[in-house]
Chain A
Amino acid sequence: MQNKHLILIIGVGNAYRGDDGVGLRIAQDIKKKSPDHVNVIEQSGEGISLMDSWKDADAVILIDAVHSGRKPGTIHRFDVHTQTIPAKFFHYSTHAFGVAEAIELARALKQLPQNFIVYGIEGKCFEAGVGLSQEVEKSVQEVVKRIQQDIHDYSPRKYTEHH
């Protein structure tokens, strides 16, 4: 069995779909800088695997690209416990079972981790291809910074008192 990690960071996306890779990119950045009690994983966005990945975590921070018509690069932040996830805002989908569906199904089954934050980064281009658009690239460091603050806030004092 793997050790129980207190904080789980999940980057969601497809690196071969332009800006859809932003969640993975941010997760990789966080991984380089994260302390031992933080587990960083990458996922494709298939909902049931997501539910399985977070079931033992105390706090989850999930990062994905979104498409809501706002300016590319816009950073959205949701606290899952105070808001329902607008499925239409993420990817309206009755044919797919993705991030929004997984969160809402976990809520319905009372399986949501205690703390759960979702970052959505407004994408510009989701065509097949590698690399992020300039606008999205510019947001990466800001999200990384904010997630590091979240990690600090969610960490029990024994992990943070040296800082």
Chain B
Amino acid sequence: MKSRTIKVDYLARVEGEGALYVKIRDNTVVDIKFKIFEPPRFFEAFLRGRTFNEAPDITARICGICPIAYQMSAVHAMENALGVQIDGQLRALRRLIYCGEWIESHVLHVYMLHAPDFLGYPDAIQLAKDYPDIVQRALQLKKIGNEIVALIGGREIHPINIRVGGFYKVPAKQELSPLAERLKWARDAALETVRWTATLNFPDFEQDYEFVALRHPEEYPFNEGRLVSNKGLDISVHDYDNRFTEEHVQHSNALHSVLKGRSSYFVGPLARYNLNFDRLPPLAREAAHSVGLSDVCRNPFQSIIIRSVEVLYACDEALRIIEQYEKPDKPAVEIQPHAAVGYGCTEAPRGILYHRYRIDDNGVILDAKIVPPTSQNQKTIENDLRQFIPQHIKLPNDQLTLQCEQAIRNYDPCISCATHFLKLTIDRV
């Protein structure tokens, strides 16, 4: 009997706790445990006793890659609690800043983290030595995302200009105009990115996933919509807690987010694309079709193309918003707090990010719940590995580990929300 163990240890500081643990005996997977993500419990506790208008700035600190997503879910949840609807140019500016964050986050993942897997490089540094022009394109493209976030958000890292009710200040039209010229370049570069990623080789790997994303009557979703799936889910964000739950996993302290009475589900670019293809503008739809994608994509390895399509969409949408922008009279709607519960769910780059807050008459937060996309994808990633490893079981440990990492990377798991340490080890039994 031959038995071996593969461990991918993301949390170096938590000794002996494998984030990915695979046990193989006689070429059969006998055990698999996956834990990559630590839910933001500290922040939920930290928010209690703070006021409703502090939630966006505090939750922005959860993630260095997607602070806007946290701010957007927080402000929408608070506005939902207090019965306020933000529309017009303030609403458009929120979509614009989200475009910036999608561009930043997706470009980082597509070029720096995911592409090296497909091209056989250990990392983007080695890739840059052979393809400096491609890496330069990535840096320029990502920078435009940073600029949008910095201009609307006030700062690139932990933007400070977003508040419940709107913004602290809003830009004049002429401040946005210089971005438009650069975004035209970015849109072309994004189209190139779609074409480039489509030339990569993808393993043949499709599963019968339940995709979950927001769906809006007219738009590709950022901040608003109903929660829908390809298997009949169609609920208001208010009903999230009635339909989704986090379950404890035996032999592990991980929490897996599941649909009650069903099972794992899949959030992120693939889910958005599959559920909202008809909401993409013609440019993005045509780009997808021109590289051979259909309206539905079930291969998570191809998420690199879908992310590129979303970058193209974000550049195009940002241009549209800037062209139609007129500075609003007031940067924010005044809001008086009262006791209430509010729900917010927005599309972070990695998928739906749910916030729920209960506040009292003074606007003090009594409790908070935050469910990030990576914790929702955890069970789906584990299921993928369960299917994927047997197909590659004869590979030596180091190659199999790389394959497992690549399968995990399909989901762009947000390590930075958990910790920024990462360590990989393999133990042979």
Residues of A within 8 A of B (CB): 14-17, 20, 42-49, 51-52, 67, 88, 91-98, 101, 104-105, 108-109, 126-129
B41–A128 touching, CB < 8 Å: yes
* Interface: B122 (CB within 8 A): yes
List which B8-60 residues lie within 8 A (CB) of chain A: 10, 12-13, 38, 40-43, 46
User: What are 24 inter-chain pairs, A to B, with CB distance below 8 A?
Assistant: A14-B61, A14-B420, A16-B61, A17-B419, A45-B64, A46-B64, A52-B139, A52-B146, A67-B13, A92-B12, A94-B424, A95-B10, A95-B409, A95-B415, A97-B124, A98-B420, A105-B128, A108-B129, A109-B128, A109-B132, A109-B135, A128-B40, A128-B42, A128-B43
* Interface: B360 (CB within 8 A): no
List which B59-100 residues lie within 8 A (CB) of chain A: 61-62, 64-65
A94–B420 touching, CB < 8 Å: no
* Interface: B356 (CB within 8 A): no
11 further interface pairs, Cβ-Cβ under 8 Å (given A92-B423, A95-B409, A105-B128): A14-B61, A44-B416, A46-B65, A52-B146, A91-B12, A91-B421, A94-B113, A97-B108, A98-B420, A105-B124, A128-B38
Q: Which of B112, B122, B132, B422 meets A91, CB within 8 Å?
A: B422
Q: Chain B contacts of A16 at CB under 8 A? A: 42-43, 46, 61-62
A92–B424 touching, CB < 8 Å: yes
Q: Chain A contacts of B125 at CB under 8 A? A: 101, 104-105, 108
* Interface: B363 (CB within 8 A): no
Given A16-B61, A128-B41: A93 and B420 within 8 A (CB)? yes
* Interface: B192 (CB within 8 A): no
Question: Quick one: closest A residue to B62, CB to CB?
Answer: A16
Q: How far is the CA of A47 from the CA of B113 in the complex (A)?
A: 12
Task: Scan B404-418; emit 1 where CB is below 8 A from any A CB, else 0.
Answer: 010011000101100
Q: How far is the CA of A24 from the CA of B401 in the complex (A)?
A: 35
A49–B146 touching, CB < 8 Å: yes
List which B130-159 residues lie within 8 A (CB) of chain A: 132, 135-136, 138-139, 142-143, 146, 156-158
Q: How far is the CA of A20 from the CA of B421 in the complex (A)?
A: 11
For the complex of A and B, the 8 pairs showing the least CB-CB separation, nearest first, are A44-B64, A128-B42, A93-B422, A108-B128, A104-B125, A97-B112, A91-B421, A44-B157
Interface residue SS majority, chain A: loop
Q: How far is the CA of A104 from the CA of B157 in the complex (A)?
A: 22
A95–B405 touching, CB < 8 Å: yes
Q: How far is the CA of A129 from the CA of B41 in the complex (A)?
A: 10
Q: Which of A15, A97, A98, A129 meets B42, CB within 8 Å?
A: A129
Interface residue SS majority, chain B: helix
Question: Quick one: closest B residue to A130, CB to CB?
Answer: B46
B123–A95 touching, CB < 8 Å: no
Q: How far is the CA of A30 from the CA of B429 in the complex (A)?
A: 50
Q: How far is the CA of A104 from the CA of B135 in the complex (A)?
A: 13
Q: Chain A contacts of B421 at CB under 8 A? A: 67, 91-93, 126
Q: Which of B135, B146, B415 meets A105, CB within 8 Å?
A: B135
Residues of B within 8 A of A (CB): 10, 12-13, 38, 40-43, 46, 61-62, 64-65, 104, 108, 112-113, 122-125, 128-129, 132, 135-136, 138-139, 142-143, 146, 156-158, 405, 408-409, 413, 415-416, 419-424
Q: Which of B104, B420, B423, B424 meets A45, CB within 8 Å?
A: B420
Q: Which of A67, A96, A101, A108 meets B415, CB within 8 Å?
A: A96
B40–A48 touching, CB < 8 Å: no
Q: How far is the CA of A8 from the CA of B145 in the complex (A)?
A: 23
B409–A67 touching, CB < 8 Å: no
Q: How far is the CA of A129 from the CA of B422 in the complex (A)?
A: 19
Question: Quick one: closest A residue to B139, CB to CB?
Answer: A48
* Shortest Cβ gap from B142 to chain A (Å): 5
Q: Chain B contacts of A15 at CB under 8 A? A: 61
Q: Which of A14, A67, A88 meets B64, CB within 8 Å?
A: A14
Q: How far is the CA of A88 from the CA of B113 in the complex (A)?
A: 17
B422–A67 touching, CB < 8 Å: no
Q: Chain A contacts of B123 at CB under 8 A? A: 94, 101
Q: Chain A contacts of B422 at CB under 8 A? A: 91-96
A94–B146 touching, CB < 8 Å: no
A49–B157 touching, CB < 8 Å: yes
